Structures are given as C-alpha cells and as structure tokens.
C-alpha cells in the first residue's frame, strides 16, 4: 500500500501549468547516425505523446518551447526545415486537436516568421479556441527577454495605461497574460539552464532537469516529473509554518 501511494499522482496537487524546454533532438539523431531533421521529426511525435499524457494527468496548460529567438543562428537549411515542419504539423493535426480537445495558443513574435506559418498559427488558434481538454501554448520565435521588451513597448504604445509601470501592469502586457504562471518547468537533454524561456513567468516555478533526450520523453517521464513536483514544498519566499 505504501509503495502504491508513493508512486501515484495526487490529483489534488497536480500542477496547473507545465512548461517544457524540449531539448536533445539533434543529439538523439546524431547518436543514431541519422540526419538532425530526423530528430526534429521524432521530437514532434514526443510532443503529441506528451500533450496526450498531460491531458490524462489533469494538467490544464502546457507550454512547449518550440523555436527560440536564438534558433535563427542555426544553419539556414535546418531553420528552413524547422519552419516547414512546424507549418505542416500545425496544418495536419486537426484531428488530434479535435480528439483530445486541445486548444492551441502561441507566444512569441509572429513578425519574423514566414507568412505561411503566421497564417497557420492564426488559423489553428482560431479553430481550436472552443476546445477545453488542455491548452497548449506553442512558443515559436519566442525569447523571454524579447517578450519583456515587447511587453514594455505595448504599455508605452498604449499611453502608459495604468500609471507607472509595475509588475502587475507589465504582466498584463505579456503575450498570454491569461495563462497562470508555470508551476513546473521541465528541461530535457541534460542541460541545466533556462535558455531564455518564460523568464518573467517562471520566477517561482519548480525546475526539473532530466538527461532524457526529448524524442525519448514519454508519459512515464512526465508522470515522474509531476510526482517530483508534488514532493516539493513551495513557499514563495516565506518560511515554513510551525505546526
């Protein structure tokens, strides 16, 4: 009985919002003597698997770091392949969104993305707006610093609405201010850094790093991450209350 309790997710303490830095696609492919693009393709399969598992666990929001503002520095052919892969993936997954009631949102700067991808993002966010199974935020051309700068500029362009800039006002000008802050941030692939992902939003997120490469990430890995989250005590800067 004790073992079953310690290895089970408490449905009353499930993180509402989980962010994932999906790292390791290229290394996964290299270790198998495959082209890097094969790793990115397998990464999409892992993303679908994780979305489905997150919905079953009861996670309400899932933010996936899909393409960062720094990823433009990669080789031109790899960037071009990724743009095409993301565009095609958004277009062909409508049955998946419908079956799993996936609402898709986007964070990041649309302006630099190819017109075809911009259009697909606008269409999929519109067409899935009524789905209520899980909300998936795709961070595409996203950088945490860039989001903060764009948020300040929105406030300035709105005539400094609300008076002097405060944390609350800045937060209301983020890309998706309606999303709760991530309770848990997971990074795959063995690196131990945030890499400019949700810097403002993750101020009090629990961080979990795993050596598992993203294409190998599955339902049990997500469950393990949630159970680790539930073992932690979140105090937000306060001391533990005496009992």
Helix or strand run (H / E) with residue 81: helix 76-92
Q: Is 150 exposed, middle or buried (0-12, 13-18, 19+ CB in 10 A)?
A: middle
pTM for the complete prediction? 0.93
Say if 196 falls within a structural domain.
Answer: yes
Find the domain containing 55 and state its range.
13-143+181-230
Residue 121, in any domain of the structure: yes
Residue 190 lies in a domain: yes
Q: Over the stretch 40-78, which tens digit does the pLDDT of each residue have?
A: 999 999 999 999 999 999 999 999 999 999 999 999 999
Q: Domain of 75: which CATH number?
A: 3.40.1180.10
Structure confidence by residue, pLDDT tens digits, 109-145 = 999 999 999 999 999 999 999 999 999 999 999 999 9
CA 18 to chain centre: 7
Q: What is the DSSP letter of 180?
A: P
Active-site residue list: 23, 71
- What total number of domains does the chain contain? 1
């Amino acid at each position: 009985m004790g073992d079953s309790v310690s290895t089970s997710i408490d449905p009353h303490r499930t993180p509402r919002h989980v962010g994932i830095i999906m790292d390791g696609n290229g290394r996964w492919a290299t270790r198998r003597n495959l082209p890097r693009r094969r790793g990115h393709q397998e990464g999409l399969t892992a993303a679908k698997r994780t979305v489905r598992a997150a919905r079953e666990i009861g996670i309400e929001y899932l933010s996936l770091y899909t393409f960062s503002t720094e990823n433009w520095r990669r080789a031109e052919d790899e960037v071009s392949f990724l743009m095409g892969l993301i565009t095609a993936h958004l277009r062909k997954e409508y049955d998946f969104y419908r079956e799993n009631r996936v609402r898709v949102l986007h964070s990041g700067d649309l302006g630099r993305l190819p017109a075809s991808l911009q259009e697909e993002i606008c269409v999929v966010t519109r067409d899935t707006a009524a789905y209520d199974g899980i909300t998936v935020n795709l961070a595409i051309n996203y950088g945490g610093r860039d989001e903060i700068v764009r948020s300040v500029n929105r406030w300035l362009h709105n005539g400094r609405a609300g008076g002097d800039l405060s944390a609350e006002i800045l937060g209301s000008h983020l890309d998706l201010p309606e999303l709760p802050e991530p309770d848990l941030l997971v990074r795959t692939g063995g690196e131990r850094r945030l890499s400019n992902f949700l810097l403002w939003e993750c101020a009090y997120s629990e961080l979990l790093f795993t050596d598992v490469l993203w294409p190998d990430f599955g339902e049990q890995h997500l469950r393990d991450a949630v159970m680790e989250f539930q073992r932690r005590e979140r105090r937000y800067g306060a001391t533990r209350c005496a009992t």
